Structure 1
Amino acid sequence: MRNLKFAIRTLSSTPFVTAIAIVSLALGIGATAGIFSVFHQVLLESLAVPDPSALVNLSAPGPKPGFGSCGREGDCEVVFSYAMFRDLQKVQTVFTDIAAHVGFAAHLAYEDRTSSSEGQLVSGSYFPVLELQPALGRLLNSNDDKLVGESRVVVLGYNYWSSRFGLDPTILNKPLIVNGQRLTIVGVVPKGFEGTTIGMQPAIYVPITLREMLDANFNSWSLRTDYWAYLFARLRPGVTIERARASLGAQYHAIVNDVEAPLQKDISPQTMARFRAKPILVEAGGRGQSVVPDQAKTPLRLLLGVTAFVLLIACANIANLLLARSAARAGEMAIRLSIGASRARLIGQLLTESLLLAVLGGIAGLVVAHWTLVLVASLLPPEVQRRIPFSISGTVILFGIVLTFATGLLFGLFPALHNTRLDLASALKNQAGQPSGAKGAARFRLLLATSQIALAMMLLASSGLFVKSLLNISRLDLGFKVDHVATFGLSPDLNGYSPDRTRVFYQRLEDELRAAPGVTAVTASNVLLLAGNNLSRGVAVQGFKAGPDTDSNSRYNRVGPGYFSALGIPLMAGREFTDADTVNSAKVALVNQTFAKKFGLGNDAVGKLMGWAPGEGYRSKLDTTIVGIVEDAKYSEVKQNVPPQFFVPYRQDKGLDALHVYVRASGDVAQVASAITAVVKRLDPNLPIEELETLPEQVRNNTFLDRMVTSLSAAFALLASLLAAIGLYGVLAYTVAQRTREIGLRMALGAAPGRVRGMVLRQVAVMTLAGALVGLGGALAVGKGAQSMLFQMTGADPTVLVLSTVALSLVALCAGFIPAHRASRVDPMRALKYE
């Protein structure tokens, strides 16, 4: 306690210096803790279930001839057929059970109020495997998924129960309309459980056997060539992952070879061999199933490393500050040692001061951590903000505490050891003597400052790479015109509309929107542009010969009349779709340039026939006429190459469901947005509008990860450069003060002020050159590791490296000029009397 009181008095005696130190530490600790919060929530946090370490995820990489659908839970390597799920559930002996799940879009209606949300279709084993207890009522169990279409029950998510029903306990046994179907509410999941997929917050959970009833386009219960179910399991007590992998692998291969291999048609012997040998993977599943960790792993590791380097620069600044103060306190330390104080006690006192600085910086860092999370959230699309609400958890606070004390020791230990290593005779003689090893301390200060320059150089060059990559993305020709376009989604089928009623609704919607003031064009598509979504199928094309292993896959989209002219996609040959292309007319399609090239159509595509490739349950006859070719335009991702793509009229789709509508305005899109809301409410006040936004916003959301990494890395690089400049200034200012007599002597002997300035600036140049070279090496390493995130450039871009070097050199020269200028104005007579 005595040490703490003395530390408070010592720091209070220099309030300005103490404030600078606290702010530097707060920025470093807070930024690191803020990014760690995101890192922890996305990559490290376990599911809110009992013993999550016993959970395992199952996946089935390898050939999957047939049809696959996948989403945020995992890519298409992960999914299983429903029939395989039931087979594995019956034969396995190493798990308490296996659970299946898949997300779905849900319209939820209660008391004449409908909202758009997302739900989770789950097997009866889902909640028992997770070992969850309900917050209210009961959860689903094995009795709820015995027969397809039965057990019309629903379990509410806790957050949905809270926001929609105000935690009303009387909600049990009341009806909830889900996608037009009446289900009975039987329970609520426990508080804190938000599903098993990062980036999804299901409002409801329904039996997986209700999928066909809730999704009119689904009828694949028995098809072993339709892959869509995600599986996880819980290990039995005492069973290791290795044992489970070996046991389940043998059972899986038996099913694949005895049951599924004989069903495969039109595949080569090589593919059949791979099909028979494909493995089943059993991996740790305590963090759930999601594509988000794989997508975010590299950028989050990068950002966490960047903030750690910023913190190191701040620590180097404080260490330099404490070393500079050691000279002024040498007499104090000498007196205390001479009257009997032990060196260990003095070291403890100095470390107490360092830790107090760190604690004050850590407390202020909580505010900076909150600001960092706010900044991160502001760079994310609204949809992601809703699904991943970042917050400072207890784990993050614990991390901040550990980081604070580690920081205090890191920047305080060397100054404390150095400050107590004194030549007592010299120190007591003038009570301003330098600690023994003062030259070593000076070299260490220069080394710290040079290290700061190196770290700042690395961060500046790395952020420059991301800035240029983002510029490359922003200059990319998307192939269509995004300005003055609003887009939104509608899912009439989820409100119980029949396909015929849906078709009439969309036609009325388009007609009324075209008549709205300021609207110049209206069209629609099944797949929203640049939303990360894809539809793809194997196709057969007239004149294109396909063998068993030939890649005949193409992306496709169902679109409305005038789609290409409304979006500004040039038509190269043929015609667009018109109102005459209906379900009763001849089937037609348009293709893009890449499709024509892939399937050898050249310039003669118009008039050729195409159709679905042969496959179980699908016609293989050439029954669709290609009526036009359009120029390539981006489809799913801004950064991906344009894929082969064909388009068909949505009005020819007999099972018409959800569409995304595009409305082009002559002026302000905001006015069009209000017109959209009014028209939809007039046509059906109970139909929710989904994701109403502008097309430029959609483009920005598609590249949000690039924008987030660029913005944060640039902000942290600028902060690092500022801290490095402050550190360099402090070192040079202290060095000039220590060399006052030497400088005065030089000037008394005839040295010109310019020469003195040059002497100091040469030291700056040497430190900057050494730091820049080391920093460039680090930047090249970062660029190599982040190559997958860079667009149309390499991690060793010479322009970025040169500009970063010039920028940092200017910062260093500016930081060094003030001490150099002061040195050149030293009065020789006063300097010679300087103590």
Structure 2
Amino acid sequence: MSNFKLAFRVLARTPFLSLVVMLSLGLGIGANTAIFSLLHQALLRALPVSKPHELMIVTAPGSQRAGMKAVGVSGGDDAVFSYPMLRGLERNPRGLASLAGFRTFQANLAFAGQTISGEACMVSGGFFELLGLRAEMGRLIEPADDRGAGEPVVVLSYDYWQSKLGGRRDVLNQGIRVNGRMFTIVGVAQRGFEGVTLGEKPELFLPITFKPVMTPGWDAREEWDVYWVYLLGRTKPGWSRERAEAELNGAYVPLLEEQVRTAEQKRGEDYRRRLLGTRLQLAGGGLGASQLRDDLKTPLSVLMICAALVLLIAAANAASLMLARAEERRREMAIRTALGAGRRAKIEQVLVEALLLSAGGAALGIILGAWTLDGLVALMASTQRAGETISGRLDPLMLAFTAAVSLATGVLFGIYPAVAAARGGESASMNEAAWGSSTSARGARVRRILVGAQVALSMTLLIPMGLFLKTLVELTRADLGIRRDNLITFEIAPELNGYTAEQSRELFRKIEAALDTMPGSEGATASVMPMISGNLWGNRVSTEGFEEDQRADAQSFVNAVSPGYFGKMGVALVAGREFEERDSAAGVSNAVVNEAFARHFFAGKNPLGRTFTVRQRSGKRQLQIVGVVRDTKYADVREPARRVFYLPREQAEIVGSLVYYVRSRLPLETTFRQIRSIVREHDPDLPVDSLRTMDEQVARNIGNERVILQLSGSFAILATLLAMLGLYGVVSNSVTRRTREIGIRLALGAQTRRIGAMVFGEVGWLTAAGMAVGVPMALWLARYSQSQLYGVEWKDPLIAAAAAFCLALAAAAAAFIPARRAARTSPVSALRHE
């Protein structure tokens, strides 16, 4: 306890230095706390369920399964299965203790006059039992609910119950309208459970058997080759993943054979061969099912490395300042030695001081970390779906992490100054401590090494920051293949309000006509699939002359668009014509394809007038190509040109929702009001979703890159400021230590310019040495991050040169005041002082 009392008194004698150390450490610890909290929630946190390590995600990797695939956030196209396959494996989950299916979808929810647009998760009857969850109130969905004649029941999520319904206990057995259909509330899910997918936060859960009710006009639930369900299983106690996988495939193969028999009239031998070659694999499901986790793994890892480097720079800066103070305390340590203090006691004393500074930095870091985390969650929520399921609060685990980092940092930056202080007290007499130099040559060398390390770490951050900045610039101005000036987009989903397919088509036509003629409009059009949204709609293509060995790559993507779509969107017509009103008539089977489609399937030949066949739910359909358009971005700004064919919107089988595009000369808010007013006139209860400019749509699509740039840029700037603070301290101390030498040089006729150059030269050597070490580390980090780059090479020499120039400029600024002070030294005063 006496050590702590003395440490408080010592730190209080130099409040400015103590505050600088704590602020430096607080910034470093806060950055690490915030980023680790994000990383833990996105990549490491297990589902709040019973024995999460036993959960398995079922996939069919490398699958060439033909048919319609509806892929969502929970996984790629190898992770979706048909409803009949779910039921077959559910009845005979060999190798698994149990198996369940789930799928989240958009829904309009109405309760007691309150309507919101949210998410609902369809689950099979054994879903909650498999997860080992309990009901917070009422009961959960059971197998009896998931039958054809089951009652329409729902279970509310705890968060929806609390935030939207006020936690009222009388909601049990009341009705809630979901997509126009009335369901009975039978329970509330366990507190803390928000589904099994990062990026999805369902407001309620309902039996999966009600899928056709939720999507009027959709009648493909019993189709074997319509894939839309995700599967989750639990291994038997003591079973390995490999054993469970082998047993499960024993049940899967007979089901594949049944699928082949069901489709043998519609498919050929190629289909049979590919399908029967498919095998299931199990992947760990303890963290849940999410493709977003794979997308976030590299960027969050890079940011964690950057935050750790900032903390190392802060620790080096603190060690440098502590070392300077240790050298100034040689007289104090000499007195303590004379009074009988041992080496261990002196080391303990300085270490206690370092730990107190680190604790102060941790307290500040918790405040800064919480503030930073809250801002990061808000930023992610505005740019990507993962932000909706990540909390901005620091939990006890994060506080424990902060405490551990604080302790490790205190020891890291305190150990050498403690040893140096103890050594100084033993090697110096009281007279030497009083009259000797304030800094030993050894201490000065160590401080130079620490500053060089800070410069190296700053360089390690500056080059990747430059690459991320270049990436964001390239993505922001990427050519989408359309004109996006003054272009506004939004979506409506009348299906979610109970509209039939024909009612939806009629509403779509009326709204499009109203948008086209509203004041300020330069034209309106629509498509089934939104651009740059991450959504995909694919189909296999069959055409005469396409080589047999290429059929494994016969996949194309699809969109259905209004007449005049390409002209209004600014998509260049390469050959033929675009869709007209006559193409919407019944019996007409025309298509427009893009250049990538024409190159792939027709090998440079003129595709106009050629035909190709696709399979739809109604059967095979032959389409004739009437036009070729320029390639455009389809789902993602980063993607290369995808093969796409376009259908007339009126002939699309998917009619549940529609995306509109309006180009307007009027101010943005005015146009937004006009759009909402037009939709409200046709249906006051129909929400207008995703209303934004196309530039905002692009910004959301590149949300990962924006987050990386903002954080890496902040870390790089902070690291550079800390390094320059350390550089300033070392150079300033060097000038003070060499006051007599400078005075003699000036007395012998040295020019002040040469004195300043001497100081700048010392800074130049330190900076150059740090850069020489930092550049290879920066290039390693850049190479590790190359999957996040776009339009720039990870070893771009111009970026490296720009980073070096900026760091050299900052170093020169840090050296300016000490150099000017050295140049203005009075020889007489300097020699009198000595």
Q: TM-score, normalised by structure 2?
A: 0.94
Bigger mean CA offset, 438-447 vs 689-698: 438-447
What is the deviation of 1:538?
Answer: 1.2
What is the deviation of 1:778?
Answer: 0.7
1:445-484 mapped onto 2 (5 Å cutoff): 445-484=447-486
What is the deviation of 1:580?
Answer: 3.9
What is the deviation of 1:138?
Answer: 0.3
Question: 1:499/1:149 Cα in 2 relative to 1: closer, same or farther (>3 Å)?
Answer: farther
3-state SS of the aligned residue for 1:196? Answer: coil
Bigger mean CA offset, 568-577 vs 660-669: 568-577
Distance 1:354 1:334 in 2: 20
Residue of structure 1 aligned with 2:522, choices 520, 538, 550: 520
The one-letter amino acid of 2:669's match is: A
Q: Aligned residues: percent identity?
A: 37
Deviations along 1:409-435, whole A, 9 cap, x unmatched?
111111011111136463312433669
The one-letter amino acid of 1:128's match is: E
3-state SS of the aligned residue for 1:135? Answer: strand
1:212 equivalenced with 2:212 (yes/no): yes
Distance 1:333 1:233 in 2: 66
Question: 1:408/1:834 Cα in 2 relative to 1: closer, same or farther (>3 Å)?
Answer: same
Residue of structure 1 aligned with 2:444, choices 410, 418, 442: 442
Residue 683 of structure 1 is matched in structure 2 by: 682
Question: 1:407/1:39 Cα in 2 relative to 1: closer, same or farther (>3 Å)?
Answer: same
The one-letter amino acid of 2:97's match is: T
What is the deviation of 1:450?
Answer: 0.3
Query: Are the counterparts in 2 of residues 492 and 657 from structure 1 also a CA contact under 8 Å?
Result: yes
1:492 equivalenced with 2:491 (yes/no): no
Question: 1:427/1:256 Cα in 2 relative to 1: closer, same or farther (>3 Å)?
Answer: farther
What is the deviation of 1:620?
Answer: 3.3
Residue of structure 2 aligned with 1:536, choices 531, 535, 538: 538
What is the deviation of 1:180?
Answer: 2.2
Deviations along 1:201-253, whole A, 9 cap, x unmatched?
10111111111221235444444333322122223333343443343344445
Question: 1:255/1:481 Cα in 2 relative to 1: closer, same or farther (>3 Å)?
Answer: same
The one-letter amino acid of 1:74's match is: G
3-state SS of the aligned residue for 1:421? Answer: helix
The one-letter amino acid of 1:302's match is: V
Bigger mean CA offset, 595-604 vs 501-510: 595-604
3-state SS of the aligned residue for 2:641? Answer: coil
Distance 1:557 1:740 in 2: 77
Deviations along 1:525-551, whole A, 9 cap, x unmatched?
111110111111112346646568352
What is the deviation of 1:629?
Answer: 2.0
1:250-269 mapped onto 2 (5 Å cutoff): 250-253=250-253, 255-256=255-256
Deviations along 1:108-131, whole A, 9 cap, x unmatched?
223454322111111111100111
Distance 1:550 1:348 in 2: 70
What is the deviation of 1:463?
Answer: 0.6
Query: Are the counterparts in 2 of residues 381 and 701 from structure 1 also a CA contact under 8 Å?
Result: no
Distance 2:278 2:638 in 1: 31
Distance 2:826 2:269 in 1: 91
Distance 1:566 1:96 in 2: 55
Residue 322 of structure 1 is matched in structure 2 by: 322
1:810-821 mapped onto 2 (5 Å cutoff): 810-821=809-820
Query: Are the counterparts in 2 of residues 419 and 435 from structure 1 also a CA contact under 8 Å?
Result: no
The one-letter amino acid of 1:712's match is: L
Query: Are the counterparts in 1 of residues 200 and 389 from structure 2 also a CA contact under 8 Å?
Result: yes
What is the deviation of 1:618?
Answer: 5.6
Bigger mean CA offset, 148-157 vs 708-717: 148-157
Residue 758 of structure 2 is matched in structure 1 by: 759
3-state SS of the aligned residue for 1:380? Answer: helix
Deviations along 1:65-104, whole A, 9 cap, x unmatched?
2222221001112223333333333333543311211111
1:22 equivalenced with 2:22 (yes/no): yes
Residue of structure 1 aligned with 2:611, choices 609, 612, 615: 609
Query: Are the counterparts in 1 of residues 529 and 537 from structure 2 also a CA contact under 8 Å?
Result: yes
Residue 431 of structure 1 is matched in structure 2 by: 433
The one-letter amino acid of 1:791's match is: Y
1:733-752 mapped onto 2 (5 Å cutoff): 733-752=732-751
Bigger mean CA offset, 572-581 vs 60-69: 572-581
Query: Are the counterparts in 2 of residues 489 and 689 from structure 1 also a CA contact under 8 Å?
Result: yes
Question: 1:524/1:277 Cα in 2 relative to 1: closer, same or farther (>3 Å)?
Answer: closer
Residue of structure 2 aligned with 1:418, choices 402, 413, 420: 420
What is the deviation of 1:139?
Answer: 0.2
Distance 2:582 2:261 in 1: 45
Bigger mean CA offset, 454-463 vs 750-759: 750-759
Residue 364 of structure 2 is matched in structure 1 by: 364
Query: Are the counterparts in 1 of residues 528 and 655 from structure 2 also a CA contact under 8 Å?
Result: no
3-state SS of the aligned residue for 1:431? Answer: helix
3-state SS of the aligned residue for 2:322? Answer: helix
Bigger mean CA offset, 67-76 vs 594-603: 594-603
Query: Are the counterparts in 2 of residues 540 and 620 from structure 1 also a CA contact under 8 Å?
Result: no
Query: Are the counterparts in 1 of residues 64 and 552 from structure 2 also a CA contact under 8 Å?
Result: no
Query: Are the counterparts in 2 of residues 149 and 209 from structure 1 also a CA contact under 8 Å?
Result: no
3-state SS of the aligned residue for 1:598? Answer: helix
Question: 1:251/1:609 Cα in 2 relative to 1: closer, same or farther (>3 Å)?
Answer: closer
Distance 2:603 2:149 in 1: 46
The one-letter amino acid of 2:684's match is: P
Query: Are the counterparts in 2 of residues 555 and 644 from structure 1 also a CA contact under 8 Å?
Result: yes
Residue 161 of structure 1 is matched in structure 2 by: 161
Distance 2:259 2:592 in 1: 40
Bigger mean CA offset, 646-655 vs 783-792: 646-655
The one-letter amino acid of 1:798's match is: P
The one-letter amino acid of 1:77's match is: D
What is the deviation of 1:337?
Answer: 1.8
The one-letter amino acid of 2:108's match is: H
Residue 770 of structure 1 is matched in structure 2 by: 769
Bigger mean CA offset, 809-818 vs 104-113: 104-113
Gaps of 5+ in 2: none
3-state SS of the aligned residue for 1:692? Answer: strand
Residue 131 of structure 1 is matched in structure 2 by: 132
Question: 1:281/1:211 Cα in 2 relative to 1: closer, same or farther (>3 Å)?
Answer: same
Bigger mean CA offset, 191-200 vs 557-566: 557-566
Distance 1:258 1:505 in 2: 41
Distance 1:135 1:297 in 2: 33
What is the deviation of 1:832?
Answer: 2.9
Residue 6 of structure 1 is matched in structure 2 by: 6
3-state SS of the aligned residue for 1:633? Answer: coil
Residue 121 of structure 1 is matched in structure 2 by: 122
Task: Give me the CA root mean square deviation.
Answer: 2.5
The one-letter amino acid of 2:224's match is: R
Residue 345 of structure 1 is matched in structure 2 by: 345
Query: Are the counterparts in 1 of residues 597 and 645 from structure 2 also a CA contact under 8 Å?
Result: yes
Deviations along 1:243-296, whole A, 9 cap, x unmatched?
433433444456556875996786778x97775554432232211111111000
What is the deviation of 1:482?
Answer: 1.5
1:593-604 mapped onto 2 (5 Å cutoff): 593-600=595-602, 602=604, 604=606
Bigger mean CA offset, 445-454 vs 259-268: 259-268
Gaps of 5+ in 1: none
Question: 1:254/1:575 Cα in 2 relative to 1: closer, same or farther (>3 Å)?
Answer: closer
Query: Are the counterparts in 2 of residues 422 and 436 from structure 1 also a CA contact under 8 Å?
Result: no
1:723-742 mapped onto 2 (5 Å cutoff): 723-742=722-741
Residue of structure 2 aligned with 1:561, choices 548, 563, 585: 563
Query: Are the counterparts in 1 of residues 327 and 424 from structure 2 also a CA contact under 8 Å?
Result: no
What is the deviation of 1:695?
Answer: 1.3
1:633 equivalenced with 2:635 (yes/no): no
Deviations along 1:18-39, whole A, 9 cap, x unmatched?
2222221111111111111111
Bigger mean CA offset, 650-659 vs 722-731: 650-659
Query: Are the counterparts in 2 of residues 55 and 286 from structure 1 also a CA contact under 8 Å?
Result: yes
Q: TM-score, normalised by structure 1?
A: 0.94
Residue 98 of structure 1 is matched in structure 2 by: 99
Query: Are the counterparts in 2 of residues 36 and 304 from structure 1 also a CA contact under 8 Å?
Result: yes
Distance 2:427 2:71 in 1: 78
What is the deviation of 1:140?
Answer: 0.8
Bigger mean CA offset, 470-479 vs 647-656: 647-656
Residue of structure 2 aligned with 1:570, choices 562, 572, 576: 572
3-state SS of the aligned residue for 1:411? Answer: helix
What is the deviation of 1:196?
Answer: 0.5
What is the deviation of 1:509?
Answer: 1.1
3-state SS of the aligned residue for 1:450? Answer: helix
3-state SS of the aligned residue for 1:820? Answer: helix
What is the deviation of 1:181?
Answer: 1.9
The one-letter amino acid of 1:575's match is: R
Residue 170 of structure 1 is matched in structure 2 by: 170
3-state SS of the aligned residue for 2:453? Answer: helix
Question: 1:96/1:473 Cα in 2 relative to 1: closer, same or farther (>3 Å)?
Answer: same
Bigger mean CA offset, 306-315 vs 213-222: 213-222
3-state SS of the aligned residue for 1:84? Answer: helix
